[in-house]
Amino acid sequence: MIATAYSTAHDTRPSGGTARAIAAWLLVCCALVFAMVVVGGVTRLTHSGLSIVEWQPIVGTIPPLNRAEWQETFLKYQQTPEFQKVNHAMALDEFKGIFWWEYFHRVLGRLIGAVFLLPLLWFAWRRQMDRPLALKLAWIFILGGLQGAMGWYMVKSGLVDDPRVSQYRLSAHLGLAFLIFAAMLWVALDLLFRRADAGNTSAPTGLRQAATWLLGLISVLVLSGGLVAGIHAGFAYNTFPLMNGYAVPPEIFMIEPWYLNFFNNMATVQFDHRLLAWLLAVLVPWFWIAARRVELTPRARLGSNLMLVMLIIQIALGIATLLMVVPVPLAAAHQAGAMLLFSAALFTRHALR
């Protein structure tokens, strides 16, 4: 609808000032999505995600306002398998603690939708976007709507006899958040750094391809982290560098059929996550060294430096989180670090166009 509001006569790229304004708005949205991912991680780590048992996009914006409403909300939670099998001794005050994390997570999602949609409609009404840009932004908004539905689809998987969310749906929810973040950041970078302004320094094709592969590998690492979180694999094998004394734990293929080990087996899922981290620990420094040996734009060189620094920080956070058996602050920092590492890789790939 937004894209069709444009006629051919208005298919011109935004002017410099407008492009910067749109980019700034998208970067604000990126910051909100970053906060959303971190809050979502804390929500999962505090086992708060199943505390709200209904999906009410409009009415659910208002929390319980008095004791009677709190009792009604708590009663709905008491009817869930999680309360009956896990939290049956929980009192109302304890319930409020997990409720607020999930509530804030949902309200933040609604806030992101509003912060994205309202300026989008404003820029469209002022005809300050060309058709390709309007289409990109419209698709991002659609992805945001799908993300809300995916979030509820994930929660529903835990409102059953086995009170835990599906690791598949959790990973899909996380992956979709990263996809939305990546789309907004890429469009913002396109607006801030146009090809004509990139300079004459052209990165070797091999280096560009390497940056693409690294971005893909980091994306797989993020998804594997979703599986680790989904089956609580971080609470097992809390030793490093070996896994309870083994380089490859003997339980790695104990589930039949064999392929389910990659999704349901704590040993296999954590081993894969570690293996991907080790692979990046080799490839990112190699990429950094290769980037130092060729002439690059300052932005591309900055990106390669940031990627190396963020990888070091992220691996350190991951090891500390594992050895300390997943304390909430460290685990949340590790999730934030994943998004910062991903951002650095995306920034680098964009700079190497």
Return per-residue pLDDT of the chain as tens, 353 residues: 444 333 333 334 676 788 999 999 999 999 999 999 999 999 999 999 999 988 877 667 889 999 999 999 999 999 999 999 988 989 999 999 999 999 999 999 999 999 999 999 999 998 888 899 999 999 999 999 999 999 999 998 988 888 889 999 999 999 999 999 999 999 999 999 976 444 445 678 899 999 999 999 999 999 999 999 999 999 999 999 999 999 999 999 999 999 999 999 999 999 999 999 999 999 999 999 999 999 899 999 999 999 999 999 999 999 999 999 999 999 999 999 999 999 999 999 999 98
Distance CA 254, CA 84 (A): 31
pLDDT computed for residue 196 by the predictor: 47
Question: Side-chain half-sphere of 54: how many Cα atoms within 13 Å?
Answer: 14
Distance separating alpha carbons of residues 182 and 278, to the nearest angstrom: 24
**Which pLDDT belongs to residue 4?**
39
* The pLDDT of residue 202: 65
And the tokens for 96?
Answer: 């409020």
pLDDT, residue 188, reads 97
Structure confidence at residue 194 (pLDDT): 76
Of 177, 171, 158, 173, which Cα lies nearest the Cα of 52?
Answer: 158
Which residue from 186, 145, 41 is spatially nearest to 102, judged by alpha carbons? 41
Please give the structure tokens belonging to residue 200: 């004459």
What global pTM score does this model have? 0.92
